[in-house]
Amino acid sequence: MKGLSRLELRYGRYAISNLALYIAALNLAVFLLTFLLFGGDSFRTQMTLALIPSEVFKGQVWRLITFILIPDNFSPIWILFTVYLIYMIGTSLERYWGRFKLNIFYLVGILGSIVAAFITGFGMTGMYLNLSLFLAYATLFPEQEFLLFFVLPVKVKYLGILDALYIFYQLFTAIRFGAWPFVGAILVAFLNYILFFGDDFLKWIKLKQQVARNRKRFFDQVRPYDKNRRF
């Protein structure tokens, strides 16, 4: 993002260090409170903490933050893996980007999710923010390997492709059934990823086009020479 360095010089001191650690710890805390307060009823937790615009208008303003603290799953087996993944990915991005840029990525993702929720009226959790975080990680560290099911080594770039395919499937399904508010919700929620990596993808596409043009120009010049040699 252009101008991010200037913003960091001015506001960098306000950035939160180890942000991913706090997010992961609060996800785990919400998981534990779900069992302590609601007897493991994850639906009640989601209805209490999710970003639901109609409830925010009634004064439940905490939902503007708590929606990112809802775990992606409430399985006792997978929760530790989930919170570790959030911590590991966030920490890696913080080391690569610095704390300020990671804070901005999270902030833009949160604001995008809030805007999407209020435009469409749909309830939101932190799912799309977590998906965009994983896409960022897969884009920057494509050769990193994860142990799928703790056994099978898989490179992150392939998991990132599956992540992207899942998102495109949701978009295609929403478009097919004319659920345009849902389409808008997905796109706006991924505003952070688009802002951070959109320029890089455009440059990559232009580079590929330039390579294709250079290759075509080369073969156009070589073909007449080959024809002359045959005679």
Domain assignment present for residue 167? The answer is yes
Domain assignment present for residue 149? The answer is yes
Contact 12, 100 (CB under 8 A): yes
Of the chain, the percentage scoring pLDDT greater than 90 comes to 21
Domain assignment present for residue 116? The answer is yes
What pTM was computed for the model?
A: 0.79
Domain assignment present for residue 218? The answer is no
Instruction: Tell me the pLDDT tens digit for each residue of 153-180.
Output: 788 888 888 888 888 888 888 788 777 6
45: containing domain: 4-206
Instruction: State yes or no: pLDDT of 123 exceeds 90.
Output: no
Position 231 confidence tier, pLDDT thresholds 50, 70, 90? very low
Domain assignment present for residue 123? The answer is yes
Domain assignment present for residue 216? The answer is no
**Number of compact structural domains in the chain:** 1
Instruction: Tell me the pLDDT tens digit for each residue of 36-87.
Output: 888 888 888 888 899 999 999 999 999 999 999 998 888 888 888 889 889 9
Residue of 71 and 3 predicted with greater confidence: 71
Question: Which whole-number Å values give the CA distances from 12 to 5, 17, 34, in the listed order?
Answer: 9, 11, 35
Domain assignment present for residue 223? The answer is no
CA 201 to chain centre: 16
DSSP 50: S
- Distance between CA atoms of 90 and 102, rounded to whole angstroms? 8
Q: Write the CATH number for 185.
A: 1.20.1540.10
Domain assignment present for residue 217? The answer is no
